[in-house]
Structure 1
Amino acid sequence: MTGTVQLHNIGRRRAYAIWGMGLAVYVLAVFHRTSLGVAGLLAADRFGINASQLATFTVLQLAVYAGMQVPVGVLLDRYGSKVLIASGLVCMTAGQLWFSYAESFQSGLAARALIGAGDAMVFTSLLRLVALWFLVRQAPVVTQVTGMIGQMGAVAAAVPLSAALHSWGWTRTYTIAASLGLFLLIGVVLFIKDSPYERAAVERIKIRALRESLTEVWRDPGTRLGLSVHFTAQFAPTVFALLWGYPFLVSGQGLSPTQASTLLTLMTFVALIAGPTIGRWTGRHPYYRSVMALAVVGAIALVWAIVLAMPGPSPLWLLVILVAVTAVGGPGSMIAFDLARSFHRSERYGRASGVVNMGGFVASLVTMALIGLVLDRLAPGGPETYTLNDFRIAMSVQFLMWGFGAWMILRYRQRSLARVSRSPGAMEALRDGDALLPGISRDHED
């Protein structure tokens, strides 16, 4: 931030107020994103669709989300968080309202795409607020808390949404959900301020400079390491919470809808506990951040291997462990954004975060689609004919994604360390616990 003029204090009450308003929007975004999780079977009946078509709802939503990350990062660096968050709210509200009245498969797809477009604008915008409004030592923990409190939206999209759907019906439930965005939009306009620094300090984007800066962002091995961590750690909890966890627990494991919804809720509370813990650890040991991500992924893969190898339905205690360990992938994936912060100065953080954020959602949409294709091949009769053996085979596609992701993390960890070693003092700073590196993420030690 050398050469910029600071107008407001950072890391204090104003910072927390701005962050809190953005966080409320992110909670709603997660709710909209996951609102099909417990409604999958109802949606299959409402639209008369099979497993692949059901998966298409979420795959398209995430494909739009992932595809917009780089454009959103560019717009974020140009216009700031306030405009992007407000725009995202408008898109999500319109999309959810459309979805509440949709009666055809095509109309429902268009509505979910609009929700995905709005959702894509929120998270990286909020991360930029955290990066600019909080102190270096605060940012890793605040980032983790952001991701974890945001998952309270998934809690609301589990048991409460399931109960509302059965009590009020499809249209009324989703219409009420859509209306929440109107109230938050007022708060965004009134309370969010983009930066504590003068606006002139924000990089002005021209087409040629934009192309060159995006190329530089992508070529940096730290960007690819962050993308690899997000790709590998995030998809399992996302796939489970957004689409296939509920059918797996109900149709595959024989749990009641209430038990399945409760386990989905448990995921959020586990993540709330794990998030700050991982945030504090990575803040103290930045040199080992990608190692921590690999440890999280290894634990998730191990528990899934045990559950899928069981000859029959798993006992409830084992399913609780499965859900709890899988949930840790969410905070584990947040390590990716702290890595991006280490390898890019603030004027490019939006673009770098956008690229990194693509990783987990690309992995998620590919995994969701593959599971749907396998289920359709094994159970062409639709959701009512799913068996545990069908899910055992379908859910095993996750191991292909974990293996590929772990290879990417190991590859780009080595390249990133080589990049750090070329900047004088950067490796020593990294080993000493400094996430912002001289010559890389800042010009000099402040």
Structure 2
Amino acid sequence: MNSSRALLVWGAGVTAYLVAVTQRTTFGVAGLEATDRFDASASQLSVFTVVQLLVYAGLQVPVGVLVDRWGPRALIVTGGVLMALGQTQLAFADSVSAGIAGRLLVGAGDAMTFISVLRLLPAWFEPRRIPVLTQWTGIVGQLGQVVSVIPFVALLSTLGWQPAFLAAAALSVVAVVLSVTVIRNSPHEDNEPTSQTLRQTGTSLAEAWKQPGTRLGLWSHFTIQFPGTVFVLMWGYPYLIRAEKVGEGPASALMTLFVAVGIACGPLLGRYVGRHPLRRSTMVLAIAALMAGAWLAVLLYPGPAPLPLLTLLVVALAIGGPGSMIAFDFARTFNPAARIGTATGIVNIGGFVASLLSMFVIGVVLDVLLGSGFSRGDLYALPSFRLAMGAQLVLLAVGACAVVIARRKVRRRMADQGVVVPPLRDALARERRLRRERRAARRNATG
């Protein structure tokens, strides 16, 4: 554990996840070309993304069960194969239905990758290093968006639809070969399936769900992952351009800032979780409050919000991405190793369900306001978008209440086991005392 070989295995897994994110986001940058190729309307094109996310969310629990039963290596390889097939199908598709079939395969393969990579960490690294490595897994993986935005777009614009998507498929083939060659489930065993029966699998799933720590992770992911996902994947850009009247240059800069903040905050949050494991849910609630406060400040501002206020909003939403990774630490620490994958799958479904609900509700509110005459014929009018985006605050409130309820159950069970969480005031006082003692020790050592 913690060896150079462990880092090599993790590096191969993270590469597979980076490729998965690339495949996930390629269609989003090919919208104009897809409109011409499939002769599709905007609503038909939206089906591509919705179906892909539905498949991803729907497979989280089954994939979590399978990764515990067969091991992460088998799932990472299978996911890569499915994504290669999906992108190949999309490369040759000439109808909406054929294109959606390709995205279904991509969504299924994508669903297998992230959970499996996280499942490698407890086998190869000691617990104190896992929170930071979990954050770096998310950070490096999200760089796949850069691959889809720059090299893939360049291929699409110069060589056309088919060569670009075939090149994307080839990238998954490379990831599959790397995974087969390098990844092993643990330092002590190869990729041998477990002897777990179907009945034991069902019992493991039930036990993971009954564990309050798993549900705390689910609601943590539900609460702080979706606002940033909704903003980046669907509604943020039209909101900035059409409602807030931000130019394309500043809007692109804000989207770039979103990625940069996520990269910068990830390691910091990982270190926080490693040093303060009893305060993880407090950080989740603090991030939820920050996002709610930023949205309220923007939505209540009279007229279009100034750029500094929109920048604050983007920073707050970006923190939610790495913040939501705390949820997977709940799954890891409150479940035995044999069902970590199952628990992680349960947790991971939370944010994507919330994202789909939020995307749908925002669209419905905009359509209703347009039909009622409230928006005066402008679907993306600022007053309409304010009401639509404000609907997210309801989901934030529901999620935060669920986090508090789940946390109480977790802490009651911890108290029964003799672990008492001290009041925050006492914990902060202890931290200040320890810092003073460390400074004094350093002075004595040097002086």
Aligned position for 1:299: 290
Question: In structure 2, which of residues 1, 8, 23 is the aligned counterpart of residue 17 of structure 1?
Answer: 8
Show CA shifts across 1:310-334 (max 9, x none): 3443333333322222111111100
Q: Which runs of 5+ in 2 are unaligned?
A: 428-447
Write the letter of the residue equivalent to 1:19: W
One-letter code aligned to 2:292: A
Q: Which residue of 2 aligns with 1:360?
A: 351
State whether structure 2 residue 239 is matched by structure 1 residue 245.
Answer: no
How big is the shift at 1:162?
Answer: 5.2
Partner of 1:216: 207
Residue 173 of structure 1 corresponds to which residue in structure 2?
A: 164
Q: CA deviation at 1:199?
A: 5.8
Counterpart AA for 1:62 = L
* Higher fraction of helix: 2
- Secondary structure in 2 matching 1:122: helix
Aligned to 1:189: 180
The amino acid of 2:288's aligned partner reads V
Counterpart residue type for residue 178 of structure 2: G
Letter in 2 for 1:392: R
- How far, CA to CA, are the matches of 2:93 and 2:391 in structure 1? 32
Q: Is 1:206 paired with 2:220?
A: no
2:397 aligned to which of 395, 403, 421: 403
Structure of greater Rg: 2
TM superposition score normalised by structure 1: 0.86
Aligned CA distance change for structure 1 residues 168 and 198 (closer, same or farther; 3 Å): closer
Question: In 2 relative to 1, CA 243–166 (structure 1 residues): closer, same or farther, beyond 3 Å?
Answer: farther
Question: Partners in 2 of 1:363 and 1:35 — Cα distance?
Answer: 23
Equivalent residue, structure 2, for 1:416: 410
CA gap 1:41/1:393 in 2 versus in 1, 3 angstroms = farther
Q: Is the 8 A contact 1:236 1:364 kept in 2?
A: yes
Mapped to 2, the partners of 1:178 and 1:264 lie a distance apart of 27
Shift in Å at residue 63 of structure 1?
Answer: 1.4
Q: CA deviation at 1:342?
A: 1.4
What RMSD in Å do the two structures reach over aligned CA positions? 2.8
In structure 2, distance between residues paired with 1:142 and 1:254: 39
Deviations 1:254-301 (A, max 9, x none): 445454344323222211110110010111111110110111111112
Please report how far the alpha carbon of residue 89 of structure 1 lies from its aligned counterpart in structure 2 after TM superposition: 0.8
Aligned residue runs from structure 1 range 63-102, under 5 A: 63-102=54-93
Count of aligned pairs between the two proteins: 421
- Superposition map of 1:321-336 within 5 A: 321-336=312-327
TM-score (norm. length: structure 2): 0.86
Trace 1:230-269 onto structure 2 (pairs within 5 A): 230-269=221-260
- Do structure 1's residue 288 and structure 2's residue 279 form an aligned pair? yes
Distance, in Å, in 2 between the alignment partners of 1:80 and 1:361 is 24
**CA 1:16–1:36 in structure 2 vs 1: closer, same or farther (change >3 Å)?**
same
In the alignment, structure 1 residue 374 sits paired with structure 2 residue 368:
no
The aligned counterpart of 1:435 is none
CA contact 1:36–1:243 (8 Å) conserved in 2: no
Deviates more, 1:109-118 or 1:96-105: 96-105
CA shift for structure 1 position 248: 2.5
